[in-house]
Amino acid sequence: MKRSILTTILYTLAAGIFATSVNGQNLSPTNLKLEVKAKLMSNNVDSARIFSNRLLKQAPTAENYLLAGSVSEIAHDHTNADKLYQQAISLATDSERYKIVSALGYVSLNRGDTSSAIRYQNQSLALNSGQAEPHHLLSILYRMKNNPDSATYHALKAYQLDSAKIDYIRFMVNMAYEKGDLLSAIMYLKRLNGVRKTSMDADSNKTKDALANFYLKIDDYEHASPLLRQLTEDSVKKDIYYYNLAKCYDNLNEEENAVQSVSKAIAVSPEVHQEYYDLLINIYQAMGQQSRVIETYVAGKNKGIPSYAGWLASYQVAVTQAKMIFSRLSQESKEQQKNDMLSLARLYLFAKDNNNSLKALNSYTQLNGAAADSIYLVYSSAYAGLNLLPAAKTSILSAIKISPDNINYKFLLLSILYRQKDYGGVIELIQKNDQHDVLIDADLKDNMLFKCYTILGDSGNAVKFKPVSN
């Protein structure tokens, strides 16, 4: 850090020097500056000090004293460096002094003296309030001192003075996110994305990636999808972008596009990711394409996904049981048929054939099957599998009315409310049940509450639940 900061000071303040190093004894001040830089770049600090001393004899200006002080700084001679720095300040003109004072703030930071660094930056701003960089450094320093209000103030001032500076925008993104204000973080990321697009910045894809992920955090699939489409074209990490794009299409009810995107994710991924196959299965299930569900399970099993082999074995048992039921239905009494229809409904539900599960349930009802919470659970699960969320909610509420303490029913309701984007309902259900029982584990609860409060624009409550890992 020491070398990089001081080298930056040398290059920033030794303005107007563009020639290359030269040899010889009778060097002009300009060439002496070049020699100082050349020696520092080659780690020859002793020679740099010799040339800096010669420079001061020929041209004892404020700029050159700062340069000489920086050489002593690199040589770890702080006593001599401080003398040279003070001489630089005393010789500086009004147009030079605020720059030198600000540079000394970086020197103090390099020494680990954050209090002096803050003092120098404030002095620099008192001399010239129109500078953005001292505000930026002050925001970093106050953040280090765990003073978020002052850090935010100076970060915002730096951004207002130069809203096209990438470092300033990135800092605003981080500050907003740390405060749980994800919507403001997205606003600054959009600005950063625009600046990098205009400047053809090499890191523009990183910004698109971050912005897309932030949109996904608040379920803004409409704005995430175009960014993800660009990333699938420009990036080597195509599989994760295709996967996230498929999630966007799925939530936007563009099922065919969702199938195409997740299929591409599976095809281009160098590794087997079960979550890719799981998503494809859920999409096919919602589309009512049960044969494609089975095909995907088989493909996943063939790729070595252990749980898929187990599911397919259970599926074959379910098929055998269903065939046995159908073979005896015509000879059964209505009471027996009623029981078998309920068994079929559950078998179909397990097989992710939700349409036939609902048909079997309707037959059960037509045979005067009794209403029960477990029946409403099957109804709700089948409707949810087909993305028929209003019907799924009505059914699970009927189940909860019969068995109000069943935690599994409440969890299904929570899932349905979230998928319906009823974020206020999600918050109410979680908080209501926290008083009695644990509805979901702590990490999932915090993640859901953070997301729900953020989407509702309540950053004050959102920050209380911001996941540490994000």
User: Over the stretch 102-153, which tens digit does the pLDDT of each residue have?
Assistant: 999 999 999 999 999 999 999 999 999 999 999 999 999 999 999 999 999 9
Q: To 5 degrees, how large is the angle CA 293–CA 297–CA 299?
A: 115
Sequence ranges of the domains in the chain: 221-304
pLDDT, one tens digit per residue, over 31-54 is 999 999 899 999 999 999 999 999
Distance CA 95, CA 92 (A): 8
Token pair 């959102």 is found at: 462
Is-contact 249 225, C-beta < 8 A?
yes
User: What CATH code is assigned to 221-304?
Assistant: 1.25.40.10
Confidence of residue 23 (pLDDT cuts 50, 70, 90): very low
- Give the other-Cβ count within 10 Å of 433's Cβ: 17
For the chain, what is the largest distance between any 2 Cα atoms, rounded to a whole number of angstroms? 116
Determine which helix (DSSP H) or strand (DSSP E) holds 108, and give its type and residue range.
helix 94-110
Structure tokens at 180: 């749980």
**Closest by alpha carbon to 425, among 456, 386, 392?**
456
pLDDT tens sequence across 123-136: 999 999 999 999 99
Average pLDDT, the chain: 90
Q: Is 325 helix (H, G, I), strand (E, B) or coil?
A: helix
